[in-house]
A and B are shown apart, each in its own frame.
Chain A
Amino acid sequence: MTAIDLGLPGLAGVPTTDEPQKAKDYKSDQEVRWCPGCGDYIVLNAVQSFLPTLGLKRENIVFVSGIGCSSRFPYYMNTYGMHSIHGRAPAIATGLATARPDLSVWVVTGDGDSLSIGGNHLIHTLRRNVNLKILLFNNRIYGLTKGQYSPTSEPGKVTKSTPMGSLDHPFNPVSLALGAEATFVGRALDSDKVGLTDVLRQAAEHRGSALVEIYQNCPIFNDGAFDVLKEPGEAEQRLINLEHGKPIRFGAEGEYGVVRSGFGSLEVAKVSEVGEEALVVHDAHIEDPSYAFALSRLSTQDLSHTITGVFRSVRRDTYDDLARAQVAQAVESKPADLRSLLHGKDTWTIAP
């Protein structure tokens, strides 16, 4: 391509400031209206604490959301923002990001918003690799409509709309994103501010679509859905945190690890049985999404294992960069001559 170096980091083109920023600079004057104890508060707090570290001009940050509890997020951010319609935030953000390379565009969405009504936009945004950061708050339930099962709820879940148990097989959002060949996919727990901030930072630096799934507790309709990942004694057995370039190892004493098994898949093993050298060394930059997909399959619906961190982070041209490059190329090579366009090749003149 000509005009734009496609190797740009995620925030290139977004104006920065030397003025020190604090978390409170990112708090809007609107009263936060989530239910007491909602995981959304923790994520909001983490994002407001994290953004100042980027040193961007606040007015060049935009949060776009869909519909749902988490989609109220933009109202609470002292940035630009749009609370749009159900499922469509990635599509709206695609237009915005394509028109405005000087903006850092964030999408806030939930499991219903992005995986049910907006599933199509999510996968197409990811495959196009539009330069957006998508925060998918997954609480495995519909909150705003008061407690129906969601596309990430476990089968058999008894809810208001499924008194005899839900029949749907759930999505694994990370597997779905990788199936769409997302260039960046990460996961974090709402309660793990350090882990979440680390994934957010890597997402922000990534140029292209970055999907971050955040396990988020709904205290009203699905309370404790992720408690096993937070309980001391349990969490260590279940949480597998990824670090690029390091062997994948977990457990209170690091007694477990991830090893290769048949047909390109991965499995959990006891280090004492397989030996340290058998452990998979995490490489988020592998071009082929199969490896990251195999990792994603270790996260099971019952949370017996859950992977956090960055599954995949690879470089690929972004749709918006390429679209702007085409326009720039056309501007360079052809005159924008409206008169000549309107006249075309074949005109005739009628004399007065």
Chain B
Amino acid sequence: MSTSVDGDVAGGADSAGSSRQAGTKLDRVVIRFAGDSGDGMQLTGDRFTSEAAAFGNDLSTMPNFPAEIRAPQGTIPGVSSFQVHFADYDILTPGDRPDVLVAMNPAALKANIADLPAGGTLIVNTDEFTKRNLTKVGYAANPLEDDSLSSFQVHEVAMATITQGALAETGLGKKDAERCKNMFALGLLSWMYHRPTEGTEAFLREKFARKPDIAEANVLAFRAGFYYGETTEAFAVTYQVAPAKLPAGTYRQITGNTALAYGIVAAGVQSKLQVLLGTYPITPASDILHELSKYKQFGITTFQAEDEIAGICAALGASYGGALGVTSTSGPGVALKSETIGLGVMTELPLLVIDVQRGGPSTGLPTKTEQADLLQAMYGRNGECPVPIIAPQSPADCFAAAVEATRIALKYRTPVLLLSDGAIANGSEPWLVPELDTLPDLTVEFATEPNAPDGSGEFWPYLRDPETLARAWALPGTAGLQHRIGGLEKQDGTGNISYDPDNHDKMVRLRQAKIDGIDVPDIEVDDPSGKARVLVLGWGSSYGPIGAAARRVRKLGHAVAQAHLRHLNPFPANLGEVLRSYDKVVVPEMNLGQLSLLLRGRYLVDVISYTKVAGLPFMAEELQNVLTDIVKGVDA
């Protein structure tokens, strides 16, 4: 394993030589399970993650799967993988490169081997390395038989054969038995890393409760893998990663989409409003619908609409009726919802719009990640149509981001765009579960009395709170406050239709001023040395790799300051001052420089834009190199 300047680079063993009983101690390990889409790699990775969580490690995961449900078996496009990074300290990313690669077939090997550093551990299911399978992915010769893998520690295991042998007496068909080989792999890795196993066995028994023979077969295969490690001489070393020393409290493992769904449930509880999610299935946002549909006991209605537009329209209609309207989608869906977001801006109704960004444009890369919808969120509507924008920085942070987005939507009566992305949505990490009394009170005060300043006893729906500029919100059913709203320009105050030029100018500026005036906390800068002349500023899911890179740069003896934007519209009030207090500001983004464009336009600060649009998160290593070069340049 490579040397590290920071635990985040690669797990350095702190005791050389074999210590088979106790296990060599590591501070962190990255394991990647890779196989065919049908091999159950996501489940395998998920279970290993749960074991790590149960053990108390800090962890971060990155699933990577094709958009096709079942691409042709054994082909490169059909490869699905799951990377889990676990450690005895707080880590920020799923890891740049695996320390251990489990390859269930030649396609998985070919698609992933380039990421395995020299000296890395490779565990291969040899049963799939047939001539036919090798040819299918373009291997002229069997890489297990030539010296192409000589720089790795290769373990060849006939996983299918051994699994079938272990299940011989269960009476299960050969094919069904072979399908349990992913649990064999999990068992083997569980042994190697001293993982607790009870959780996985209980999980399997519950998952296959209706098929007890399948449940038993999976448990047997899991144990077979564990015992295989224990009894064969093939694996000289086992490893231990101690529990992480995280802040005190109760933790659980959570993915971004689940955390978002929980945030919406909590927002409903804290606002005492019923929640209506109007949505249309789209990768990678559908899990928000799946999750919320399970929580009807919280007064949550989930409406799977006929299309993206109907989804957001139903949500807005529910908001008009006094519910918390929510819609969830990805970039292509936001494009379709734009007109309704505009209606929400014009009618000044609360609405939560969740965009789980994916690779674009058009259909793009549905299962990959990107941060390229920022300008769409900011400007992607006709007219001057400002909406607040919030971006969570990690899977667990999605909870707090959803609560904050709802707070703004309700307080200021406005649609709010929440920009998650594919990496956060499907990735997972431990979450310090908040105590309920720490959640904000989101109660809304509805208008119940006529409010016309002229004493006419009328209700003026566009009379504003002087402080927040939020308009008076009266619900249908409130006697005496009958009024009409809509997409046509409103007269200031009365809300009647108005084509008056000066009124339009005033209303455009009022709507903008309302959003500009949203109470956004100041951005905080992390600069342990206090001497940094370079600031790295990010937003959204790049928090992990940027943070890991900053740590490494500091370990190398350089000073670098880091700050991360949660509020992208409006920006924190102190942002301009922060930007101007550094010699250089570096802005890494998974787009072509969208935040950089906004910062330059707004603050006239010539930020250095570093961009990558590969459908995958940044690697800490590449950002480390970028930052180091810039810091050295400034110091010189």
- Mask for B434-462, Cβ within 8 A of A = 1, else 0? 10100000000000000000000000000
| A341-B305 Cα distance, complex, nearest whole Å | 26
CB proximity to A under 8 Å, residues B275-318: 276, 278, 295-301, 303, 305-307, 309-310, 313-318
Cβ of B322 and Cβ of A99 under 8 Å apart? yes
Q: Is A69 an interface residue (CB 8 A)?
A: no
Binds B, one of A42-50, A165-173, A206-214, A328-336: A328-336
A121 contacts across to B, CB distance below 8 A: 306, 309-310, 313
A329 contacts across to B, CB distance below 8 A: 296
A336 contacts across to B, CB distance below 8 A: 269, 297-299
Cβ of A82 and Cβ of B295 under 8 Å apart? no
A62 contacts across to B, CB distance below 8 A: 476
Measured CB to CB, the closest approach of chain A to B243, in angstroms, equals 8
Cβ of B317 and Cβ of A96 under 8 Å apart? yes
| A326-B53 Cα distance, complex, nearest whole Å | 34
Q: Is B527 an interface residue (CB 8 A)?
A: no
Cβ of A83 and Cβ of B53 under 8 Å apart? no
- Mask for B245-289, Cβ within 8 A of A = 1, else 0? 111111111100000001001100100001010100000000000
Binds A, one of B77-85, B484-492, B568-576: B484-492
In this complex, the interface size class of chain A, counting residues with CB under 8 Å from chain B, is 35 or more
Cβ of B251 and Cβ of A98 under 8 Å apart? no
- Mask for B469-508, Cβ within 8 A of A = 1, else 0? 0000000111111111111100000001100000000000
A84 contacts across to B, CB distance below 8 A: 313, 343, 486-487
Q: Is A351 an interface residue (CB 8 A)?
A: yes
Q: Is B433 an interface residue (CB 8 A)?
A: yes
Binds B, one of A86-94, A190-198, A289-297: A86-94
A98 contacts across to B, CB distance below 8 A: 276, 301, 303, 314, 318
Q: Is A60 an interface residue (CB 8 A)?
A: yes
Q: Who on chain B is nearest to A331 by CB?
A: B297
Q: Who on chain B is nearest to A333 by CB?
A: B297
Q: Who on chain B is nearest to A324 by CB?
A: B301
Q: Is A164 an interface residue (CB 8 A)?
A: no
**Which residue of B266, B339, B476, B486 contacts A83 across the interface (Cβ within 8 Å)?**
B486
B199 contacts across to A, CB distance below 8 A: 346
Given contacts A83-B487, A348-B250, contact A95 B476 (CB under 8 A): no
| A350-B295 Cα distance, complex, nearest whole Å | 28
Q: Is B221 an interface residue (CB 8 A)?
A: no
Q: Is B212 an interface residue (CB 8 A)?
A: no
Q: Is B56 an interface residue (CB 8 A)?
A: yes
Cβ of B306 and Cβ of A323 under 8 Å apart? no
Cβ of A335 and Cβ of B297 under 8 Å apart? yes
- Mask for B323-359, Cβ within 8 A of A = 1, else 0? 1010000000000000110110001000000000000
| A327-B292 Cα distance, complex, nearest whole Å | 12
Cβ of A91 and Cβ of B309 under 8 Å apart? yes
Cβ of A99 and Cβ of B317 under 8 Å apart? yes
Measured CB to CB, the closest approach of chain B to A13, in angstroms, equals 11
| A2-B220 Cα distance, complex, nearest whole Å | 44
B105 contacts across to A, CB distance below 8 A: none
Q: Is B54 an interface residue (CB 8 A)?
A: yes
Q: Is A75 an interface residue (CB 8 A)?
A: yes
Cβ of B320 and Cβ of A348 under 8 Å apart? no
Measured CB to CB, the closest approach of chain B to A31, in angstroms, equals 10
| A329-B299 Cα distance, complex, nearest whole Å | 10
Cβ of A350 and Cβ of B249 under 8 Å apart? yes
| A163-B331 Cα distance, complex, nearest whole Å | 40
Measured CB to CB, the closest approach of chain B to A25, in angstroms, equals 10
Q: Who on chain B is nearest to A14 by CB?
A: B477
CB proximity to A under 8 Å, residues B214-239: none
- Mask for A24-44, Cβ within 8 A of B = 1, else 0? 000010100000000000000
Cβ of B317 and Cβ of A91 under 8 Å apart? yes
Cβ of A343 and Cβ of B252 under 8 Å apart? yes
Cβ of B317 and Cβ of A92 under 8 Å apart? yes
Cβ of A92 and Cβ of B476 under 8 Å apart? no
CB proximity to B under 8 Å, residues A108-135: 120-121, 124
B262 contacts across to A, CB distance below 8 A: 341-342
Q: Is B50 an interface residue (CB 8 A)?
A: yes
Chain A CB count within 10 A is highest, among B248, B316, B319, B488, for B316
Q: Who on chain B is nearest to A73 by CB?
A: B484
CB proximity to B under 8 Å, residues A8-26: 15
CB proximity to A under 8 Å, residues B368-404: none
Cβ of B486 and Cβ of A91 under 8 Å apart? no
**Which residue of A91, A331, A343 contacts B305 across the interface (Cβ within 8 Å)?**
A91
B253 contacts across to A, CB distance below 8 A: 346
Cβ of A59 and Cβ of B477 under 8 Å apart? yes
Cβ of B247 and Cβ of A350 under 8 Å apart? yes
Q: Is B321 an interface residue (CB 8 A)?
A: yes
Cβ of B301 and Cβ of A85 under 8 Å apart? no
Q: Write the residues of chain B forming the contact surface with A, with a CB cutoff of 8 angstroms.
A: 50, 53-54, 56, 199, 243, 245-254, 262, 265-266, 269, 274, 276, 278, 295-301, 303, 305-307, 309-310, 313-323, 325, 339-340, 342-343, 347, 433-434, 436, 476-488, 496-497
Known contacts A75-B497, A95-B318, A349-B250; 12 further A-B pairs (Cβ under 8 A)? A15-B477, A80-B477, A84-B343, A85-B340, A92-B317, A95-B313, A99-B301, A343-B433, A344-B254, A346-B50, A346-B252, A348-B54
What are 13 A-to-B residue pairs whose CB atoms are below 8 Å?
A: A30-B484, A57-B477, A75-B484, A80-B483, A80-B484, A83-B485, A83-B487, A96-B317, A96-B476, A335-B297, A344-B254, A347-B252, A348-B56
List 7 tightest A-B contacts by C-beta distance, closest first.
A83-B486, A95-B317, A95-B314, A91-B313, A330-B296, A92-B317, A91-B310
